[in-house]
Amino acid sequence: MEKIVPYLIIGAVALVILIILIKNICIVQQSRAYVIERLGAFSQVWEVGIHFKLPFVERIARRVSLKEQVLDYPPQPVITKDNVTMQIDTVVYFQITDPKLYTYGVEQPMVAMETLTATTLRNIIGDLELDQTLTSRDVINTKMRAILDEATDPWGIKVTRVELKNILPPQDIQNSMEKQMKAERDRRQAILQAEGTKRSQILVAEGEKESAILRADAEKQSAILRAQGQAEAILAVQKATAEAMQMLNDACPNDQVIKLKALEAMQKVADGKATKIIIPSELQGLAGLAAGLVETVREPKQ
């Protein structure tokens, strides 16, 4: 029994040493880093892979995630330049680029970032009026990102993006804005209706104009045709009269009274005052000639 005791002690010591060695073997995962201190002072930063920590000499001061992280801060009361108090909640995207500075740069880095974000937001909004605040989100985001990135650089933090998630004005301001938006929509609707009415009236006027032009053109063509017909009728009457005079002269050149009566009768027929010619006894010998003259004079009137 006494011979077994030393072996048990050696085995126990070996087991303890093995456990200690196993517990001091560390595997650093992807996108993480370990800050190592040796006897209370910074020693090194472990990257991805397997590492061995000296027992009782070294310790892991902080396990740091190198992934991009998001901080969603609750709404902060902010006063604008025109003394309007609003509630604004901010979202900050950041990444730890230097684990050593992140560990030793500032106490409680997340609390420090939240305080710095709130202070920066109040400073920027304090220089803007309400309307500018509501319409200049991109400008505010850019300014905040630049200021926060510069301020957190000594802490080993890289601010990649800042977003204003919500901007909540007071209730009375919201009511006024809704009324203004409704008035603007009503104005646009009235403008659209007026433009539609104007366009409709223009189309109607253009249609009436074209119709009037067509009617005038038709009346013009009709008047031209009537004038041409009247001119041709007058020309035919004059031509028939001349021919009748020539025939009368040839038939009885010395009897002027008979000629005048015949011409008067033919003129009445031509003017529509008579429908037939009464042939005097003096013209019985010229009956065939008179009948031909009547047909010649009346032909253009038909």
pLDDT of residue 67: 92
pLDDT of residue 19: 87
- What average pLDDT does this structure show over 5-33? 85
Q: Read off the tokens for 107.
A: 């106490």
Average pLDDT of the chain to the nearest whole number: 80
pLDDT of residue 98: 92
CATH 3.30.1330.20 assigned to 68-169: no
pLDDT in tens, 111-128: 999 999 999 999 999 888
CA distance 42 to 139: 41
* Residues 229 and 300: beta-carbon distance below 8 Å: no
What backbone torsions phi and psi does residue 161 show, to the nearest 5 degrees?
-160, 150
Most confidently modeled range among 209-223, 248-262, 278-292: 209-223
Q: In this predicted model, which residue has the larger pLDDT, 249 or 85?
A: 85
Positive or negative, the CA dihedral 58, 61, 66, 67 is positive
Domain definitions of the chain by residue range: 4-64, 68-169, 233-301
| Lowest-confidence segment of 62-71, 141-150, 268-277 by average pLDDT | 268-277
pLDDT(244) > 70: no
What one-character-per-residue DSSP string does 265-285 give?
A: HHHHHHHTS-SS-PPPGGGGG
pLDDT in tens, 147-206: 999 999 999 999 999 999 888 888 877 777 778 788 888 888 889 888 888 888 898 888
Q: What residues contact residue 138 under an 8 Å CB cut-off, 6+ apart?
A: none
Q: Read off the tokens for 197.
A: 């009415």
With 0.85 as the threshold, say if the pTM is over it: no
